[in-house]
């Protein structure tokens, strides 16, 4: 009998308990697909090397199982962030509070009154669920939650300034992560972009010169870009006062949109939502998943007349938030309303973590590993907030035989560990490692101890 004839058929393999177990886990169609491909590979190999023996059935089934695991493994998976960047865009930005997760889970598991008025028994509106909390928290007339802040800006401009002139400082026409450019989204709305000032200097008179033909003035947060040196820019309140005198709407795209003054923790000041409102801006847009610390969302707040117009625009339905987002944003906002944000929201717990506590965690790691040293370092807020700014932290410093290979092995663990290197040393910052992830982190570091010097 030739080696090709020794290859089992699919039917023969299906009689083996291992194949039955795979069907129970992955379903029959997918398992059959994996078995066919595994057998095809065996035939191809034996045809190219007729002298080799046909593999045992267990090896063929193992090959099929490996394929099934690879096909069904989620590409989106939890990681341990040991980089010291709190709002790391590539790592999913803000981890959520337990109350936020519980609220989103409850909304996902059950039917809800998303668009059902329990009082009248008739159709209601999904727009009310987060709005009432925002009105109470920020003392605003109206609010709207959409799926992200880019959508918020696009919707606001589409509703308030279609085919109309929108003034923005040339210094604010920035590109942020992923190639997203502020002027591109403005043009997409149909608004006519009017740049004023120079790259480094913008005066109030530059705005006022364009007022006669303009419908709206917009200020955009520079996100991950900072200007220093020979610069000038008018205060937002002065822009708003001058614009309102000319009958022009003022919109502030805050980007991150903090509700807490970051300077109280010894780091630079990030513009807050409250400050924009105090400057008498008509509409403010900001993110839900950055310094707010909630799920991805875009939040629009401001004057009732303008928000009503924004809500009625056809694009509002295309960018609306789903039930889990609305539940999560509402739960996150309630932390602020109850004055417990710094105690309950993970990113604010990280930002406010005392330096001695960070050091103590790093020392604990070193003691448990019996390796590494504790060194002073710096952490960053990230997420387009406080560009170029950092604040003190402590890290566990490890000496690896090959730092790059060590980082790669960390990324290959379950869960993956994301760290950084400086001066050929591997650094792990406790500030961004969630307490419930410590055990997994230490287990991973123990398993790779042979890679250390």
For the chain, the domains span: 10-72, 80-88+347-451, 96-341
Task: Give the tens place of pLDDT for each residue, 399-444.
Answer: 999 999 999 999 999 999 999 999 999 999 999 999 999 999 999 9
Could you tell me what percent of the chain has a pLDDT over 70? 96
Q: What is the pLDDT of residue 178?
A: 60
Q: Residue 209: name the closest of 172, 169, 174, 236 by CA.
A: 169
Q: What is the pLDDT of residue 165?
A: 93
- In contact, 299 and 258? CB cutoff 8 Å: no
The rounded distance, in Å, linking the Cα atoms of 293 and 258 is 9
Q: Is the pLDDT of residue 68 over 80?
A: yes
Instruction: State the DSSP code for 323.
Output: H
The SS3 assignment for 246 reads: coil
Cα 22 from chain centre: 35
Q: Is the pLDDT of residue 4 over 80?
A: no
Question: What is the band of 52 on the pLDDT scale with cuts at 50, 70, 90?
Answer: confident
- In contact, 327 and 107? CB cutoff 8 Å: yes
- In contact, 99 and 187? CB cutoff 8 Å: no
The rounded distance, in Å, linking the Cα atoms of 163 and 157 is 10
Q: Residue 262: name the closest of 150, 331, 347, 330 by CA.
A: 347
Query: Can you name the residues that pair with 377 across neighbouring β-strands?
Result: 393
Does the global pTM surpass 0.85? Answer: yes
Q: To the nearest 10°, report the CA torsion of 213, 154, 313, 193.
A: 20
Residue 23 phi/psi, 5° resolution? -65, -40
Question: What is the band of 276 on the pLDDT scale with cuts at 50, 70, 90?
Answer: very high
Q: Is the pLDDT of residue 110 over 80?
A: yes
Cα 303 from chain centre: 28
The SS3 assignment for 333 reads: helix
Q: Residue 186: name the closest of 197, 199, 172, 204 by CA.
A: 172
At the top level of CATH, the class of 80-88+347-451 is alpha beta
Q: For the chain, what is the mean pLDDT?
A: 91
Cα 244 from chain centre: 35
- In contact, 117 and 129? CB cutoff 8 Å: no
Lowest-pLDDT range of 162-166, 230-234, 332-336: 230-234
Query: Can you name the residues that pair with 123 across neighbouring β-strands?
Result: 116
Please tell me the number of Cα atoms within 13 Å of 366 on its side-chain side.
20
Residue 330 backbone class (left: φ over 0; alpha: ψ -120 to 50; beta: rest): alpha
The rounded distance, in Å, linking the Cα atoms of 184 and 195 is 13
- In contact, 99 and 331? CB cutoff 8 Å: yes
Q: What is the mean pLDDT of residues 101-106?
A: 98
Q: What is the pLDDT of residue 174?
A: 73
Q: What is the pLDDT of residue 223?
A: 64
Q: Is the pLDDT of residue 384 over 70?
A: no
The top-scoring range by mean pLDDT among 38-52, 172-186, 324-338 is 324-338
Q: Is the pLDDT of residue 189 over 90?
A: no
Q: What is the pLDDT of residue 2?
A: 62
Residue 19 backbone class (left: φ over 0; alpha: ψ -120 to 50; beta: rest): alpha
The rounded distance, in Å, linking the Cα atoms of 261 and 274 is 10
Task: Give the tens place of pLDDT for each residue, 307-352.
Answer: 999 999 999 999 999 999 999 999 999 999 999 999 999 999 999 9
Question: What is the band of 225 on the pLDDT scale with cuts at 50, 70, 90?
Answer: low
Please tell me the number of Cα atoms within 13 Å of 119 on its side-chain side.
2
The rounded distance, in Å, linking the Cα atoms of 323 and 128 is 12
What is the architecture of the domain spanning 96-341?
3-Layer(aba) Sandwich (3.40)
Residue 113 phi/psi, 5° resolution? -90, 45
Higher pLDDT, 421 or 255: 421
Q: What is the mean pLDDT of residues 211-228?
A: 82
The rounded distance, in Å, linking the Cα atoms of 129 and 411 is 39
What is the β-pairing status of strands 85-87 and 175-176? unpaired
The rounded distance, in Å, linking the Cα atoms of 306 and 406 is 54
């Amino acid at each position: 009998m030739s080696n090709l004839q020794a290859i089992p058929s699919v039917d023969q393999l299906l009689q083996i308990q291992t194949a039955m177990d795979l069907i129970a886990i992955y379903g029959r169609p997918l398992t059959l697909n994996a078995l066919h491909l595994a057998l095809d590979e065996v035939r191809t190999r034996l045809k190219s090397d007729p002298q080799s023996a046909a593999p045992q059935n267990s090896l063929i089934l193992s090959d099929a199982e490996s394929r099934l695991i690879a096909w069904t493994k989620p590409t989106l998976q939890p990681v341990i962030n040991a980089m010291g960047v709190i709002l790391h865009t590539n790592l999913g930005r803000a981890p959520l509070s337990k109350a936020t997760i519980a609220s989103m889970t409850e909304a996902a598991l059950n039917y809800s009154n998303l668009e059902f008025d329990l009082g009248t028994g008739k159709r209601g509106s999904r727009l009310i669920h987060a709005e009432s909390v925002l009105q109470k928290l920020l003392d605003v007339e109206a609010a709207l939650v959409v799926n992200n802040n880019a959508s918020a800006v696009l919707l606001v401009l589409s509703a308030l300034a279609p085919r109309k002139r929108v003034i923005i400082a040339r210094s604010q026409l920035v590109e942020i992560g992923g190639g997203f450019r502020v002027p591109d989204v403005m043009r997409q709305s149909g608004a006519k972009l009017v740049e004023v000032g120079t790259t480094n200097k913008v005066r109030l008179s530059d705005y006022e010169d364009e007022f006669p033909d303009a419908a709206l003035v917009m200020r955009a947060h520079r996100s991950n870009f900072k200007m220093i040196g020979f610069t000038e820019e008018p205060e937002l309140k002065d822009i708003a006062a001058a614009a309102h005198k000319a009958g022009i709407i003022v919109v502030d795209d805050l980007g991150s949109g903090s509700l807490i003054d970051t300077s109280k923790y010894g780091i630079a000041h990030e513009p807050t939502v409250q400050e924009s409102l105090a400057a008498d801006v008509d509409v403010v847009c900001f993110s839900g998943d950055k310094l707010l610390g909630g799920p991805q969302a875009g939040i629009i707040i401001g004057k009732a007349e303008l928000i009503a117009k924004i809500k009625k625009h056809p694009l509002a339905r295309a960018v609306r938030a789903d039930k889990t987002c609305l539940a999560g944003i509402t739960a996150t906002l309630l932390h602020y309303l109850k004055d417990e944000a710094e105690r309950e929201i993970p990113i604010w717990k990280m930002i406010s973590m005392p330096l001695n506590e960070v050091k103590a965690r790093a020392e604990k790691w070193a003691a448990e590993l019996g390796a590494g040293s504790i060194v002073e370092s710096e952490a960053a807020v990230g997420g387009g907030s406080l560009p170029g700014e950092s604040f003190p932290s402590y890290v566990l410093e490890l000496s690896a035989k090959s730092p790059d290979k060590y980082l790669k092995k960390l990324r290959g663990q379950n869960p993956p560990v994301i760290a950084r290197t400086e001066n050929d040393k591997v650094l792990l910052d406790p500030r961004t490692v969630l307490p419930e992830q410590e055990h997994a982190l230490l287990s991973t570091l123990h398993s790779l101890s042979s890679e250390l010097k």
